[in-house]
């Protein structure tokens, strides 16, 4: 009997599976599609999830680069957000198509021991006090799986969420149409200096939401041979449901938004290439992320606009937050309330993302009053404190779990220059809880010894202005910290017990 069944084999479900394997659980992933997804969806990752993947050893696999570096600029609501002058820039990006990310995560999860069943769809379940019986339809017909927990990572229309009776409150709008396509642009229209487009009356930067009084246009040359164009409008009629989108439809929409033609041709090659139409939009957050032995993850728990690229940052960090807590329950050492802290910590983060996406949507809406709002907002962006606030919001760097008085607890662990960094990196790759003892004489190892089966204690030194001790959770967030040369060992014991269960004699 598998301990955990995950319904949905997208990026969020796959990372959850890998994280569970690192914690000693071998989950079964049910993915209704028989093969890897080839459709063009997200173009990459932004935010704190990039350092998370680096800590797991995945960043180099995805990029070929050794370590991630903050980017000097990003976008917010159609404005370029200059980050180069920020002393502590938290915005990392990983420009990689979602289908490639999924391939790497699937390989990673399988190598760690996850069982990924493609062509198998969760069609229902019955949850009891001690287990969940999952109904599955596979290539050879229907069957049942009994597990300790079921996680719904099955998208915005989540069947798991609906059958669990979890409400999905929020707002829907049906007055917008967004069209996206990969195309071939005449070379003479591309500005060699900026990489953007030069059209009559327009100089359109790459990757920036270019707003006009009638809509928003984006030119994104992720693939130089098949760059993406996206155009969004409000208050215009959409084709009847079921009518497939066409490149001519995209051309006409661009003409309405820019007031001029953008000549383009279908991209060369076999593809697959993106050609998509989205009607309206949803902003919704599940009323709870847990119903007994059923939990929700990613889009099954929250949906919102894609503006600013927060979706995978949010969902993948859900996975990192949930995995070690779920594994602790299965292993039997979870302290009371640990699994419920998944909902308590991640639902507020979902609300922060909604603040960001709805604010950006307002800033890119058509209308003269929005034009004046943008003029004022542009002035505010001249202040570095405003840009830092937005950078923290976009990246998730403003997340803080709890209200501890010290500057580290509840936040993502700071980057430290350690005398011996490899044991720390190895423990992070293994998703181990870590007590980083930086005190003179390594005073904390004895205190933490009763938790040595669950927590790795590392005694080393750090350069610069560093705390004297950090207790770091597997998801990279600080559970306890001290700046004293003689840390409060009773407080450390309390934190170890709160997060990692009772001591072992």
Please name the residue ranges forming H helices in 225-308.
247-258
3-state percent breakdown (helix, strand, coil) of the chain, nearest 5: 30, 25, 45
- Phi-psi group of 274: left, alpha or beta (phi > 0 → left; psi -120 to 50 → alpha; rest → beta): beta
Main-chain dihedrals φ then ψ at residue 7, nearest 5 degrees: -90, 105
Between CA 430 and CA 77 the distance in angstroms is 38
Dihedral of alpha carbons 192, 193, 195, 200, sign = negative
**224 DSSP 8-state letter:** T
- Which structural domains are found in the chain, ordered by start? 4-44+96-168+286-364 (3.50.50.60), 172-280 (3.30.70.2450), 411-500 (3.40.30.120)
Nearest to 73 by CA among 84, 65, 63: 84
State how beta strands 275-285 and 210-211 pair: unpaired
Please name the residue ranges forming H helices in 247-367.
247-258, 311-331, 340-363
Residues 6+ positions from 7 with CB-CB distance below 8 Å: 13, 30, 122, 134, 150, 151, 152, 153, 154, 159, 160
Q: What is the dihedral of CA 453, 12, 326, 18, to 10 degrees?
A: -30
Residues 6+ positions from 244 with CB-CB distance below 8 Å: none
Rounded to 5 degrees, what angle do the CA atoms 388, 392, 393 make?
Answer: 115
* Residue 303: both structure tokens together: 């949906």
* Residue 267: both structure tokens together: 């991209």
Q: What is the pLDDT tens value at each position of the chain, 505 positions in all?
A: 789 999 999 999 999 999 999 999 999 999 999 877 666 667 789 999 999 999 999 999 999 999 999 999 999 999 999 999 998 999 999 988 888 999 999 999 999 999 999 999 999 999 999 999 999 999 999 999 999 999 999 999 999 999 999 999 998 888 889 999 999 999 999 999 999 999 998 999 998 899 999 999 999 998 889 999 999 998 888 788 889 999 999 999 999 999 999 999 999 888 889 999 988 888 999 999 999 999 999 999 999 988 877 888 899 999 999 999 999 999 999 999 999 999 999 999 999 999 999 999 999 998 899 999 999 999 999 999 999 999 999 999 999 999 888 999 999 999 999 999 999 999 999 999 999 999 988 889 999 999 999 999 999 999 888 899 999 999 999 999 999 989 999 999 999 999 999 999 7
434 close to 423: Cβ distance less than 8 angstroms: no
Residues 6+ positions from 394 with CB-CB distance below 8 Å: 46, 47, 74, 76, 81, 91, 308, 310, 356
């Amino acid at each position: 009997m598998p301990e955990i069944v995950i319904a949905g084999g997208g990026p969020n479900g796959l990372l959850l599976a890998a994280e569970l394997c690192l914690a000693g659980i071998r989950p079964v992933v049910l993915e209704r599609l028989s093969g890897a997804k080839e459709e063009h969806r997200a173009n990459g990752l932004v935010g704190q999830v990039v350092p998370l993947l680096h800590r797991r050893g995945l960043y180099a696999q995805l990029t070929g680069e050794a370590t991630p570096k903050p980017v000097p600029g990003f976008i917010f609501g159609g404005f370029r957000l200059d980050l180069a002058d920020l002393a502590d820039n938290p915005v990392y990006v990983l420009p990689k198509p979602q289908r490639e990310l999924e391939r790497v995560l699937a390989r990673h999860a399988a190598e760690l021991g996850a069982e990924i069943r493609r062509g198998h769809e969760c069609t229902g379940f019955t949850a009891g006090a001690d287990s969940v019986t999952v109904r599955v339809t596979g290539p050879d017909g229907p069957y049942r799986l009994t597990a300790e927990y079921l996680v719904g990572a099955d998208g915005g229309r989540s069947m798991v969420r609906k059958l669990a009776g979890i409400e999905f409150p929020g707002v829907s709008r049906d007055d917008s149409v967004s069209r996206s396509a990969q195309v071939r642009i005449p070379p003479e229209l591309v500005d060699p200096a900026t990489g953007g487009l030069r059209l009559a009356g327009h100089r359109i930067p790459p990757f920036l939401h270019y707003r006009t009084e009638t809509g928003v246009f984006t030119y994104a040359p992720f693939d130089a041979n098949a760059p993406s164009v996206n155009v969004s409008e409000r208050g215009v009629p959409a084709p009847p449901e079921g009518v497939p989108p066409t490149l001519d439809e995209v051309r006409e929409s661009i003409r309405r938004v820019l007031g001029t033609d953008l000549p383009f041709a279908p991209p060369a090659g076999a593809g697959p290439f993106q050609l998509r139409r989205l009607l309206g939009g949803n902003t919704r957050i599940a009323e709870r992320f847990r119903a007994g032995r059923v939990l929700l993850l990613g889009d099954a728990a929250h949906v919102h606009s894609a503006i600013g690229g927060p979706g995978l940052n949010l969902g993948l960090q859900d996975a990192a937050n949930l995995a070690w807590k779920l594994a602790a329950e299965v292993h039997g050492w979870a302290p009371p309330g640990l699994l419920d802290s998944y909902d308590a910590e991640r639902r507020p983060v979902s609300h922060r993302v909604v603040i960001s996406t709805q604010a950006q949507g307002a800033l890119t809406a058509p209308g003269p009053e929005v034009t004046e709002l943008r003029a004022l907002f542009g002035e505010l962006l001249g202040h570095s404190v405003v840009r830092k606030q937005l950078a923290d919001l976009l990246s998730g760097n403003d997340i803080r779990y709890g209200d501890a008085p010290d500057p580290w607890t509840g936040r993502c662990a700071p980057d430290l220059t350690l005398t011996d960094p490899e044991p720390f990196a190895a423990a992070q790759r293994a998703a181990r809880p870590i007590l980083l003892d930086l005190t003179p004489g390594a005073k904390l190892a004895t205190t933490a010894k009763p938790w040595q089966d669950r927590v790795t204690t590392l005694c080393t030194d750090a350069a610069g202005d560093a705390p004297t001790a950090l207790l770091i959770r597997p998801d990279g967030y600080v559970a306890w910290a001290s700046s004293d040369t003689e840390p409060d060992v009773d407080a450390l014991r309390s934190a170890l017990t709160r997060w990692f269960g009772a001591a072992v004699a």
